[in-house]
A and B are shown apart, each in its own frame.
Chain A
């Protein structure tokens, strides 16, 4: 990691608006990212090799598969099912934890994407989510302005198929 430019705390807070100073005392542990940030974060996450987040060893997966990226996995024609399950579990752990390192909304997109890829490519249900909830998740994801283009087609395809029949 490169060293950032050296900074010196030379601000004199004596002239700072007190209400601005009060913001510092809010001590909100949550991190707020803008839509542009979320877009960049999802893009970055999709480029990450699976082993970075899922670990170098995963039962039922071969090492070569773990070197592919999240984006490659979720858009593959036949993505290994154990990896989709692991991705779903990884995302699930992050989506509701305020202290999680992957933003909740980005994790939620990954969560639904893994479930849908399993349904569409393997006709496998790797989640107990009822169909209305799954469809709601698809609508939610498609309404994200920052949803990655590479995933939009997956969500649209799933919406078209699952919206008509739950047989797959």
Chain B
């Protein structure tokens, strides 16, 4: 599977919930540029992956199309202004707009059928999976980046270290969680309660950052559902 080019997303700012989309939609808003850059950084990898892996567009061509889509539809047409939270998910609007744009740009021809010999996993993929899986990855990538930054800025890297050694590495790499004895020795912990407290704090911090990231593109009362959906997207994606 082609991987999107990576880049450092911009530092987050204070805003949460759907306000990011609203700010990005209003050129008069002082936070417009920052909000737009932030949204594009979040969504671009998923959009790119959709073009390359689902629509089978050459990576170089996908770059060009995406660039043009951003220029014409997002900047000039102000797609964000047409985002209506009552009408569905913001990412669905983006994806539909991109597909329409690409279809037009490629001469109104449907994308080519997947030929024999192509990775059969793509045949089984749902219509949005090539977008949703990279999107879910991006949400987690951003969540972890923010969590680590928060730990660093608040001089609490012990929380990050415990999270990484007990939860992150075991989940992502199958690493054996750092044992209690090692945790105590590494951080000079005074009691089991202190170890548990740090571990619980790290879990809560991860969840808070996850909710913050999700809250920037969805309504607050939909965050729980979105977490469940992201989990289903990733669980159902197998190793792709």
* B31 CB within 8 Å of chain A: no
A44 & B184 in contact (Cβ 8 Å cutoff): yes
A18 & B238 in contact (Cβ 8 Å cutoff): yes
Binary CB contact string for chain B from 219 to 240 against chain A (1 if under 8 A, 0 otherwise): 0000000010011011101111
A103 & B192 in contact (Cβ 8 Å cutoff): yes
A101 & B196 in contact (Cβ 8 Å cutoff): yes
Q: What 9 A-B pairs have minimum CB-CB distances, sorted nearest first?
A: A101-B193, A22-B234, A18-B237, A4-B161, A25-B231, A37-B180, A18-B234, A9-B148, A101-B196
Q: A40-B180, A52-B190 are in contact. Are A14 and B160 (CB under 8 A)?
A: no
Cβ contact of B6, chosen from A14, A16, A19, cutoff 8 A? A14
Neighbouring A residues of B184 by C-beta, 8 Å: 40, 44
Q: Report how many residues on chain A are interfacial, defined by Cβ distance under 8 Å.
A: 45
**With the chains together, A68 CA to B184 CA distance in Å?**
21
**With the chains together, A4 CA to B6 CA distance in Å?**
28
**With the chains together, A81 CA to B231 CA distance in Å?**
51
The stretch that binds A, out of B61-69, B82-90, B112-120, B197-205, is: B197-205
Neighbouring B residues of A19 by C-beta, 8 Å: 234-235, 237-239
- The main secondary structure of chain A at its interface with chain B is loop
Neighbouring A residues of B227 by C-beta, 8 Å: 25, 27
Question: Which residues in chain A, 1-53, are within 8 Å of chain B measured between CB atoms?
Answer: 1-9, 11-27, 29, 31, 33-34, 36-37, 40-41, 44-45, 48, 52-53
* A102 CB within 8 Å of chain B: yes
A21 & B239 in contact (Cβ 8 Å cutoff): no
* B47 CB within 8 Å of chain A: no
CB distance from B199 to the nearest CB of A (A): 5
**With the chains together, A48 CA to B187 CA distance in Å?**
17
Given contacts A14-B45, A18-B137, A44-B180, 14 further A-B contacts (CB under 8 A): A2-B188, A4-B157, A12-B141, A13-B144, A19-B239, A20-B171, A21-B234, A24-B167, A25-B227, A29-B203, A36-B179, A36-B181, A40-B179, A53-B193
B193 & A16 in contact (Cβ 8 Å cutoff): no
**With the chains together, A113 CA to B219 CA distance in Å?**
50
B137: nearest chain-A partner, CB-CB: A13
CB distance from B86 to the nearest CB of A (A): 26
Neighbouring B residues of A106 by C-beta, 8 Å: 192
Cβ contact of B196, chosen from A8, A22, A31, cutoff 8 A? A31
B157 & A16 in contact (Cβ 8 Å cutoff): no
Question: Which residues in chain B, 147-181, are within 8 Å of chain A measured between CB atoms?
Answer: 148, 157-158, 160-161, 164, 167-168, 171-172, 174, 177, 179-181
B191 & A17 in contact (Cβ 8 Å cutoff): no
* B12 CB within 8 Å of chain A: no
**Residue contacts A-B, CB under 8 angstroms, 5 given:** A14-B137, A24-B171, A37-B181, A41-B192, A44-B192
* B134 CB within 8 Å of chain A: yes
**With the chains together, A6 CA to B157 CA distance in Å?**
7
**With the chains together, A25 CA to B144 CA distance in Å?**
12
**With the chains together, A12 CA to B4 CA distance in Å?**
11
* B24 CB within 8 Å of chain A: no
B231 & A44 in contact (Cβ 8 Å cutoff): no
CB distance from A6 to the nearest CB of B (A): 6
A47: nearest chain-B partner, CB-CB: B191
* A58 CB within 8 Å of chain B: no
B235 & A101 in contact (Cβ 8 Å cutoff): no
A20 & B172 in contact (Cβ 8 Å cutoff): yes
